[in-house]
Structure 1
Amino acid sequence: MISVLYIEDENEIGSWVKKDLTERGYEVTWLQSGEEMEAHLSSADLVILDVMLPGLDGFSLGRRIKKERADLPILMLSARTSVEDKVEGLHFADDYLTKPFHPDELAARLEVLLRRFQKNEDVLVLQHITVHPKEMRIVYNETGEEVQLTGKQYYLFQYFIRHANQILTKEQLYEGVWGERYIEGDKTLMVHIRYLREKIEKDPAHPTIIETIRGLGYRVRI
């Protein structure tokens, strides 16, 4: 999974950018200043950096990032449209996007940067199946046959993978996939997990990919 470090102090834009990129399959760490940046640099595959920040501005942070990790692509975001600002940003950053912008344009620019830096997401092998996240495909390793999932089943499985190795409660899963508050007694989630297991598990009665953690929830281990 591609890990994005996103530094943005505006709550409104930060919230929807994180939500949009997460739904596209990225793992997003959102910080509102550069104070905790150092702790996340080693695990980041790409940085989205706003120019106007409290404390050190984006230009200063960007230069520091490139000094520590020259291999890490940086996309600058800014409401500043002057040529001088763009030129200053592009002295160290790899792309510069002015606000306001469409989420599709941001996603497309990230894809270009990842291709340039050869950070494209690899396939994921989970026991007897292989997941191709970019193509939204799941294949049985032994036969090469593609697993046919409905859109909601795939999104549920994708949510598990984005939160791999974490125990997820019914509430977290329902709110994350359906976008609504979970109501105790609602069987929708359990039905979808049962159908998903029937398609991806060798023995759905004894699942090894989507584990049940008694009294807590579910987990996919990678």
Structure 2
Amino acid sequence: MAKRVLYVEDDTEIGSWVKADLERRGYEVDWLTSGEGAPERIKEADLAILDVMLPGLDGFTVGQRLKREAPGVPVLMLSARTSVEDKLQGLQFADDYLVKPFHPEELAARVEVLLRRHPPAEEKTLRAGHIEVNPESQTVTDTRSGEEIVLTAKQRQILLYLLRNANRILTKEQIYESVWGEPYLEGDKTLMVHIRYLREKIELDPSQPLLIETIRGLGYRVKL
């Protein structure tokens, strides 16, 4: 399975070529142009790359929040700041610090080293009611019959995201932007349609869902 990189960079020119280069090397890249939403996305990532100079919260603050959310996920800071003080500030929480401008080969090498040094923990099987999901094989099983429930890729991603955030109310925006990787447009029915079809496959009674709750006016929740 491809390693997932959470990349936070507001410079669209730099962001575009870094994202393209990492994807060419086989990584999945979730690129954000600000730190907003990063603490929620870090749980889906194997590594985070953060620029220091960001709109709103700076990269140091965002990085510290990411480490609190996911202590085992390595963080690589990028910055045009070359002072020893800035590097020391970053390395108080980050796992590496790379000064701009940098060569893509050096960035890729540092990413590889960090991933080898911090192998992702094996994710445990996720369960809710009669549903069991193996995150590694991406299989969904009905524990009553032992039969696999065949889901589409998007349905699996939605279910995994809900289970990984069990007992939390997730907004439509959070779910959509995590699964589709693009901004949610108010009024878009895409997520609602996918959840309806997902419920038809996993709920005992789709008209009265027990696994995926609708929290009216807010979003959805899987309650364990």
Query: Normalised by the shorter chain, which TM-score bucket?
Result: 0.5 to 0.7
| Residue 95 (structure 2) pairs with residue 44 (structure 1) | no
Tell me the TM-score normalized by structure 1.
0.60
- SS of the aligned residue for 2:141 comes to strand
1:114-164 superposed Cα distances (whole Å, 9 cap, x missing partner): 44xx72222212221121122222112233221100112122223333544
Distance in 1 (CA, whole Å) between partners of 2:168 and 2:76 is 28
CA RMSD of aligned residues (A): 4.4
Distance in 1 (CA, whole Å) between partners of 2:170 and 2:45 is 18
Q: Which amino acid aligns with 1:203?
A: D
Per the alignment, residue 10 of structure 2 pairs with: 11
1:98 corresponds to which of 106, 125, 128? 106
C-alpha contact 1:10 1:32 (8 A) present in aligned 2: no
Measured at CA, do residues 28 and 206 of structure 1 come closer, stay the same or move farther in structure 2, by a change above 3 Å? Answer: farther
Measured at CA, do residues 57 and 132 of structure 1 come closer, stay the same or move farther in structure 2, by a change above 3 Å? Answer: farther
Measured at CA, do residues 42 and 210 of structure 1 come closer, stay the same or move farther in structure 2, by a change above 3 Å? Answer: closer
User: How much has 1:111 moved relative to structure 2?
Assistant: 5.4
Structure 2: which 5+ runs fail to align?
Answer: 20-28, 33-37, 51-57
C-alpha contact 2:80 2:99 (8 A) present in aligned 1: no
1:188-209 superposed Cα distances (whole Å, 9 cap, x missing partner): 3322111101112222222122
User: How much has 1:211 moved relative to structure 2?
Assistant: 0.4
C-alpha contact 1:51 1:58 (8 A) present in aligned 2: no
> For this pair of structures, how many residues does the alignment match?
187
Per the alignment, residue 190 of structure 2 pairs with: 188
Per the alignment, residue 145 of structure 1 pairs with: 147
Distance in 2 (CA, whole Å) between partners of 1:170 and 1:79 is 37
1:167-186 superposed Cα distances (whole Å, 9 cap, x missing partner): 233344444434354352x5
Question: Identity of paired residues, percent?
Answer: 35
User: How much has 1:59 moved relative to structure 2?
Assistant: 5.4
